[in-house]
């Protein structure tokens, strides 16, 4: 009995008297985060145990993507104003978030083919291919494709949001304008192009970046920006690769639920790199 009493007294002492316990009129942790809504949004369509894993992985990924878009938008606005330094923290944060997303594929990979087949048919034609936030991230990084908007025609407001993003400069377009703002010679084709088109490498842009990398002391902020972008592009490619290998591990070469060729399509996506001149200049340095 003595030990039990001592333990009870120890636990009471650990609970500090100033800790708030009455939330009848005050906002609690759960209230602030709207946990009642978030934690009640996992609706399995089957009775299979592992469907919960599948839902939560994708829901949390969408939350991380929302934060990526929040940071990318702010960083792009900073760069367009030629105010580069504040963007560096935002871009560093994006690369850390990407690491969280990359790691999530390792958790999903604990789902075996046999287990997934138990509830895959419940997904219907829903597919990660339809993730509008992932599409917005690709647009923000310069990978534009107007044809992908067809997937969202049934949601007019979402379609308009994507169409607007399609016609806005990407973060790389903003970086190219920063090159010109620093007095580097970038031709009009790169500075005033159709933002809705997928970016294609430009000789004047490559030469400008080469100048930055050859004179890092003179152009340190541009050099720092370039390396931040390279890091984000690299992380996005790792995310794509882990996506592809996880899909291959779970469903092999079956068609995707959304109608894509599955692994074959995801392998093609890997051949669409970001920020081409920041990669090609490494060969020419």
How far is it, in rounded angstroms, from Cα 89 to Cα 71? Answer: 9
Q: Is 103 helix (H, G, I), strand (E, B) or coil?
A: helix
Element (H, E) at 110: none
Residue appearing with tokens 């790691």: 103
CB 214 within 8 A of CB 223: no
| Structure token digits, residue 84 | 């580069």
215 appears as a binding residue in the annotation: no
Q: Is 4 annotated as a binding residue?
A: no
55 marked ligand binding residue: yes
Residue 234 assigned as binding residue: no
246 annotated to bind ligand: no
Both ends of the chain: CA-CA distance in Å?
Answer: 76
- The response to whether 214 counts as a known ligand-binding position is no
The reply to whether 176 sits in an annotated binding site is: no
Instruction: DSSP letter for 24, please.
Output: S
Element housing 173 (H / E):
helix 171-181
Question: Residues within the annotated binding site for heme?
Answer: 243
Question: Residues within the annotated binding site?
Answer: 54-58, 116, 120, 243, 257
Question: Residues within the annotated binding site for substrate?
Answer: 54-58, 116, 120, 257
């Amino acid at each position: 009995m003595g030990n039990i009493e001592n333990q009870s007294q120890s636990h009471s002492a650990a609970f500090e008297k100033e800790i708030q316990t009455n939330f009848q009129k005050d906002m609690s942790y759960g209230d602030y985060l709207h946990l009642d809504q978030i934690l009640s949004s996992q609706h399995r369509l089957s009775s299979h145990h592992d469907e919960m894993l599948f839902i939560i992985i994708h829901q949390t990924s969408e939350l991380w993507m929302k934060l990526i878009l929040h940071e990318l938008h702010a960083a792009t606005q900073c760069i367009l104003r030629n105010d580069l330094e504040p963007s560096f923290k935002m871009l560093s944060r994006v690369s850390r978030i990407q690491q969280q997303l990359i790691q999530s594929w390792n958790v999903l990979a604990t789902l075996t083919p046999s287990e997934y087949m138990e509830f895959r048919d419940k997904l219907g034609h829903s597919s990660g291919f339809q993730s509008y936030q992932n599409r917005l991230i690709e647009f923000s990084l310069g990978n534009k494709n107007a044809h992908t908007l067809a997937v969202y025609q049934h949601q007019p407001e979402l379609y308009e949001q994507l169409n607007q993003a399609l016609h806005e400069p990407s973060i790389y377009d903003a970086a190219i304008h920063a090159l010109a703002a620093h007095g580097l010679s970038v031709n009009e084709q790169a500075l005033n192009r159709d933002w809705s088109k997928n970016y294609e490498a430009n000789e004047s842009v490559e030469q400008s970046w080469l100048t930055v990398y050859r004179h890092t002391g003179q152009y340190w902020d541009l050099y720092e920006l370039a390396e931040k972008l390279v890091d984000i592009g690299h992380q996005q490619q790792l995310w794509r690769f882990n996506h592809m290998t996880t899909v291959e591990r779970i469903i092999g070469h079956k068609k995707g639920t959304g109608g894509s060729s599955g692994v074959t399509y995801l392998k093609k996506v890997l051949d669409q790199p970001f920020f081409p001149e920041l990669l090609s200049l490494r060969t020419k340095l």
